[in-house]
Every structure is written in C-alpha cells, then in structure tokens.
Amino acid sequence: MGKVGIIGVGQSNFVRGYPGSIRELAFEGFKEAIEDAKIQTKDIDASIIASAPEYDKQRSPAGVIAEYLGLIPQPTFYIESICSSSSAALKVAYAMIKAGLHDVIAIVGFQKMSEISSSESQERMGRGADIQWESPFGTMMPAYYAMYARAHMAKYGTTGEDLAKIRVKAATYGQINDKAVYRKPVTLEMFTDPESNMSATVAKPLRVGDCCANADGSSCILVANEEKARAMCEKPVWILGLGAASEAVNMAGRDLLTGLNVGIEAGKQAFKMAGVTPKDIDVAEVHDCFTIAEMMAYENLGFAEPGEGKDLITSKETYKEGSIPVNIDGGLLSKGHPIGATGGSQIRTIVLQLRGEAGEMQVKDPEIGLAHNIGGVGLYGNVTILGR
C-alpha cells in the first residue's frame, strides 16, 4: 500500500470577531490550500468538515460548507472531537485514502467563536465537562487545567514563573506570525505586575497570561494518495504516524494528574507507526491551550522526562534555535485557538517547516515534524508525525 501525502495547506488569519459567516470563514483557509497545492476544486473527491458544534448556529455545517466551497456532489463528512477535531479528521481521511475509497480529500476545520454571544458562550462553557456529575459544581476549562498545574507543582516543584516562560516564548513567535491574533510581546515581569492584565488570576494558579487567545479562524489540509501526491505536488509531505486516544471525561476517572494520558497514548501510537523516537523530531507543534498544557506535552511526548519540562523551557531548548523547537508559530497562546481549525493550523505549520517555507519562523532544515492536538481537558488526543 502506498503512502498518504499532504499536497496543500492553508489557514485564514486568526482574528477576534470575524466579519463574515462560517462558510465565508471556511472559504479563506480552503482557498489558500487550493492555491498552495495548485489544484482545482474538481480534483477533490471528498471533504471532511471539522468544528465544535456548540459554537455553531448552523445545524450540521458540513453540507453547507461543502456546497459553498464547490465540493458538491462529492461526499462530505463531519468530524468532531472539540479542539482536536481537524486532527481526528486527518486520521479519518488517511484511512479513507488507504482503503481506496477516495484519492484526494480536503479537511476543512473552522470555528467562529464569536458566532454566539459571550453570555451564550459562558453558558456553554459551564457544560464543557461531565454535565451530570461535574458541571453542577461550576467547573470551567481553565480550572481543570489549573488542577493539573497544581498537581504538577506539588509533585515536581514547577513554579508559576516556569509556566510564564512558556507564554513568553509563545509571544516571541506570535509577533512574527502575521496570521496570529495576539501580536504583542509578553514578559516575565508582566506576570508579577498587578497593573498588567497578564497577572490577573483566572483559576488559581493560572493567570490570564497562562490562557490561550480566543479567535475565529479556519484551516485546510489537502491529502492525496501517493500516486496523486507525486503527480500533483512538487514537495509532498508524507504522513508517517498517526495516534489517537480517549480518556474518562470525569476527573474522578483519571489516574494521572501531572500529565494527559491521551497525549502519552496517542504519542506512543504515532511514534510506533512512524518508526521514530522523540529524539528524531526536529520541530513540533503542541497543544498549548494553557501554559501547563505545553509543559505536560513536553513530558508526555518524551521531549523531557516527567517533571523536567521546566528545565526544557528554562534552557530555551524549545525555542527556534533549540534542540526541539516547539510552537514556533506562537501556538494556541498567541496565534489563537479557533477550536475546530486548530489541529489543521498546527499541521499546516509543520508542513511549511518541512518544506522550508516558514519564513521568519523557519527552523533549520527539519526532516521530521510532529503535531500534538488535544480535545477538551485531555478527553481526546491526536498526535501526527510528518516527514519530507
């Protein structure tokens, strides 16, 4: 059986309050991917649309978006795993291509977080967990990750300053990514300056600066079987490994509080399938919805031993010039986190890096890259390994 290649990538600017509809937003990422691949819409024989439906007013958005993109009457599928929806869609696309069902598939991830009012959004956030047994206590996404941060601090001595260093790195690269929503610098001092918004507590011990930037956005990944990929594309990037995992929704069902089991499990699967080890990864995108999430990703993927994530960021090994550059596009923290579009955006960044086309963000000559995408509070995990 042949390989599956990525022949084109695109994403919209990640913005606050996108001035258009969800289909217009999806069009932006799709158009860029089509132009990147230099193919025609008619070359695509199926589409997978990915988003988190609680932010949509449109019921069943896949058909509406497929039509707007000119992808009818080809089949379209809707895949949802909250924040990791578009990475999950990539795995489904891979399987459909390997099965010979389709030759070229478009994966379109999108989220217009501003589609609903902020009070509607707040109401939905209250239902972001186990609605029977946890939500009645008043849980919020940051508070769950804050519990992981507290447990990590208690076990390993990780500090708020260690976490802040991850945000400082993200902001370093958000400033050079013209598609990022947050383009300003962040300093360690801001986290201790009561005048700075960055220092304001959200859920102890996490502060505003530890939380990712909400954004509207879309992404698109075009994948093809080996024959089509070689015929259509000068520099296809190959899918080497795919891992996916799930976890108990209720915290009471979890054994690990200093890392995410889904990241560990999906990583193991992806490394095994690709036949590589963490040391072989030249550039990575990890799911930094909160600073602690990036810290745990270092350890869960094997870039650092458990508890030594703080040393990795302190020594700046995850900066562009370091031994394992991570989130050199600003990550979710600064680039922004439009739920359904995020995985596709991470994969786009890795593809551009492997093709040597990441501009100012380019890491030196990477051959193998990894994207780590988490859905919910470690409810779903996807790890994708790509190579030239």
Partner 1 sequence: MAKKEVDDRFKKFGTVSFTAITKTNDFISYLEKGKVMGTKCKKCGAIYFPPRSDCSGCLQSNMEWFEVTGTGRLLSYSELKYGPVGFEDDLPYTIALLDYGDYKVFGRISKDIPYDDLNVGMELKTEFNTLPNGQINYVFKRP
Binding site for partner 1 (CB under 8 A): 119, 122-123, 125-127, 130-140, 143-144, 146-151, 154-155, 200-206, 250-254, 257
Q: Whole-number minimum distance, CB 165 to partner 1, in Å?
A: 21
Of residues 40 and 119, the one with the C-beta less far from partner 1: 119
CB of 154 to partner 1, least distance (A): 4
If one counts every other C-beta atom within 10 angstroms of the C-beta of residue 199, the result is 17
State which residue, 115 or 134, has the beta carbon closest to partner 1. Answer: 134
Catalytic residue (choose from 152, 287, 337, 372): 337
* 83 flagged as catalytic: yes
In sequence order, which ranges of the chain are alpha helices (DSSP H)?
22-37, 61-68, 85-98, 118-125, 141-156, 160-174, 226-232, 261-274, 291-300, 309-314, 331-334, 339-355
The first and second tokens of residue 250, run together, are 């209720």
User: Least Å distance between CB 243 and partner 1?
Assistant: 23
Which residues lie below 8 Å from residue 253, measured CB to CB, with a gap of 6+? 247
In whole angstroms, give the CA distance from residue 258 to residue 253. Answer: 14
- Type of residue found at 110: F
In the residue annotation, 289 being an active-site residue is answered as no
Indicate the residue type of 141: M
> Which is the catalytic residue, given 83, 211, 212, 233?
83
Cβ distance to partner 1 smaller for residue 134 or 317: 134
How far apart CA 338 and CA 195 sit, in angstroms, is 28
Using DSSP bridges, classify how beta strands 76-79 and 46-50 pair: parallel, antiparallel or unpaired.
Answer: parallel
Q: How far is the CB of 219 from partner 1 (least distance, A)?
A: 28
Name the residue nearer to partner 1 (CB basis): 127 or 235.
Answer: 127
Considering only CA atoms, which of 191, 55, 39, 63 is closest in space to residue 117?
Answer: 55
- Closer to partner 1 by Cβ: residue 133 or 185: 133
Q: What is the C-alpha separation between 85 and 87, in angstroms, rounded?
A: 6
d(CA 269, CA 252): 25
- 146 versus 333: smaller Cβ distance to partner 1: 146
For residue 91, the minimal CB distance to partner 1 (Å) is 24
Residue 357, C-beta contacts closer than 8 angstroms, at least 6 positions apart:
none
Catalytic residues: 83, 337
